Amino acid sequence: MKRPLVYPLDPNSNNEAREMAEFYQETLGFTPNSLFTMMRRPRIAHAFVELNQAVMENKGRVTSSLKRLIGYMASMTSGCRYCEAHTIRAAVRYGSEEDKLQNIWEYKTYPAFTEAERVCFDFAIAAASIPNAVDDELAERMREHWDEGEIVEILGVVALFGYLNRWNDSMGTKLEDPAADDGTQYLGKKGWSRGKHKYD
């Protein structure tokens, strides 16, 4: 794309935008351009932040770092380079082990990953696929490792990033430099680039 479909609102344009920006300072260290395109209709932005907080709330075994890796697997499946970089950055900030970050593509066999994590990533990929690839066999494997509330949390992450993947790839949202740096560091060896999210 030659330019984003819609330019983000200036974060300092009003008090509402400034307050919205504060939420993401902890998560990413900056406020995403995607949020400020949503802020052109503030109700959408507020609803998104509420959903984000509900989905990413840490309830136990589905940890904050695992949720970010689930988000990465879903975004990788959808092909959204913007969200791939954001989820990897957030995984780093929320304590994902370096070993897992460097070997996420080998999760099926790499010894750092548990069987519960493996099925979780299989599920994220299947749930993010079009057409959807969740079947009885995968559902049964999920039930063996995760209870119903945990499955709801996991699918909540996939669904949240389904929204974000479509928003950011359709908008052509410009990727922020800190996220691009983490994308290059952790994903570059597997061919990641900013793609349509880079503008001069």
Q: Tens of pLDDT along 64-101?
A: 999 999 999 999 999 999 999 999 999 999 999 999 99
Which pLDDT band, with edges at 50, 70 and 90, does 137 fall under? very high
**In this model, does residue 24 exceed pLDDT 90?**
no
For position 22, what pLDDT does the model report? 75
Kindly report, residue by residue over 103-118, the tens digit of the pLDDT: 999 999 999 999 999 9
Does residue 156 have a pLDDT over 80? yes
Nearest alpha carbon to residue 163 among 55, 7, 1, 16: 55
Mean pLDDT computed over 144-155: 98
| pLDDT score for 30 | 87
The model carries a pTM of 0.94
CB–CB of 77/134 below 8 Å?
no
pLDDT value at position 85? 97
State phi, psi for 146 to the nearest 5 degrees.
-135, 140
pLDDT score recorded for residue 25: 75
Q: Which fold has domain 60-192?
A: AhpD-like (1.20.1290)
Mean predicted lDDT score pLDDT of the chain: 93
Instruction: Determine the Cα angle at 106 with ends 100 and 110, to 5°.
Output: 65
Could you report the per-residue pLDDT of 29-55, keeping only the tens digit for each?
888 999 999 999 999 999 999 999 999
Report pLDDT for 78.
97
How distant, in Å, are the alpha carbons of 53, 62, 127, 147, 179 from that of 58?
10, 7, 21, 15, 23
